[in-house]
Amino acid sequence: MFDGKISLSDWHQCAGGHQRCVFEHDLYPNILVKVLRIRGNSGERQSTRMLRFIDRFKRFGAYRTFRREVDEFIEQARKFTLSDTADLPIPGVLGFVQTEHGLGLVVEKITMANGQLAPTLRDLALAGRLTARHLAMIDELFERCRRLHIVLMDCNAGKFVVTDRRGFEELMCIDGTGEKSPLRIFALSRRANGFRLRQMREKLFLKPARTLNDPAALPNEGHVHTVLEPYLRPKRRLHAVEGVPDALNVSRAS
């Protein structure tokens, strides 16, 4: 795809977090390049933890997040033929490239049907475009992850996007995939991963609920506030592990 090292100075930074930056380019409409935001020697982030010297003994350094993402995609891709991989609720991993910011991970760009970058759940909530259907898609996504045994290591509303590129709206997780536990508990056990996914699903509902309280957020669909209202309370009872939280039953609010 790329011959040698590329310069990201001509690329546009379309997203970023406290660990990584994401770049896009008009000449490559179907890919993104992820790079580490802050790097030290041997790919280590500049940690503020008292025991940060321990990181020196961890293989891959800060690039562990890249390895997790690659491992998870390979694990899922082996289950499908080439024509079936588009059904995965995570982006494809296309390779690596050297940049002036260090090693870059080349991934599939998740867009809308018009080619624009797919909006995140947080984007939709701030713009007043979040609907009860979008909340229902959260349940659908986590059910797909449970069924396919996809391991997620992070739960942030900015890492879940809504795309209509296949002719219908669906939710996808664009970042934060792969096994983070050194014991690989969730990769080895469907039961443990299912339990973790239920916890993460509830946390994900909490994120847009908080966004609705942002002064910059525009009014969203009324049913959205009804569904998310329990997540705005300072204290709430923990739901049983086996049950589905009543607050997530979007159909009751529709």
CATH classification at residue 89: 3.30.200.20
pLDDT of 226: 86
3 found inside a domain: no
Please give the Cα distance from 197 to 131 (Å, whole number): 22
Most confident segment among 34-38, 72-76, 81-85 = 72-76
Same domain, 146 and 246: yes
Query: Is position 2 within any domain?
Result: no
Mean pLDDT value across the chain: 84
pLDDT tens, residue by residue, 125-179:
999 999 999 999 999 999 999 999 999 988 889 999 999 999 999 999 999 999 9
Extract the tokens encoding 231.
Answer: 């997540």
Q: Cα separation of 111 and 200, whole Å?
A: 24
177 closest CA partner among 96, 107, 247: 107
Burial degree of 145 (CB within 10 A; 0-12, 13-18, 19+): buried
- Residue 17's Cβ-side half-sphere holds a number of Cα atoms within 13 Å equal to 14
**Residue with the two structure tokens 């590329």:** 6
Out of 53, 85, 108, pick the residue that ends a domain.
108
pLDDT of residue 58: 66
Number of domains in the chain: 2
Residue in 254, 250, 193, 205 with CA at minimum distance from that of residue 232: 205
Q: Which domain holds residue 26?
A: 8-108
Whether 91 and 14 map to the same domain: the answer is: yes
What gap in Å lies between CA 40 and CA 222, rounded to an integer?
47
Compute the Cα dihedral for 9, 15, 21, 27 and give only its sign: negative
- Average pLDDT in the 70-77 region? 93
pTM of the model: 0.81
Q: Where is 141: in which H helix or E strand?
A: helix 132-148
Last residue of a domain, one of 83, 108, 133: 108
Q: In this structure, are 182 and 59 located in the same domain?
A: no
What contacts 206, CB < 8 A, 6 or more positions away? Answer: 231
Sheet-wide strand order for 28-36 = 12-16, 20-25, 28-36, 102-108, 93-99
Domain termination residue (choose one: 74, 108, 142)? 108
Q: What is the DSSP letter of 92?
A: P
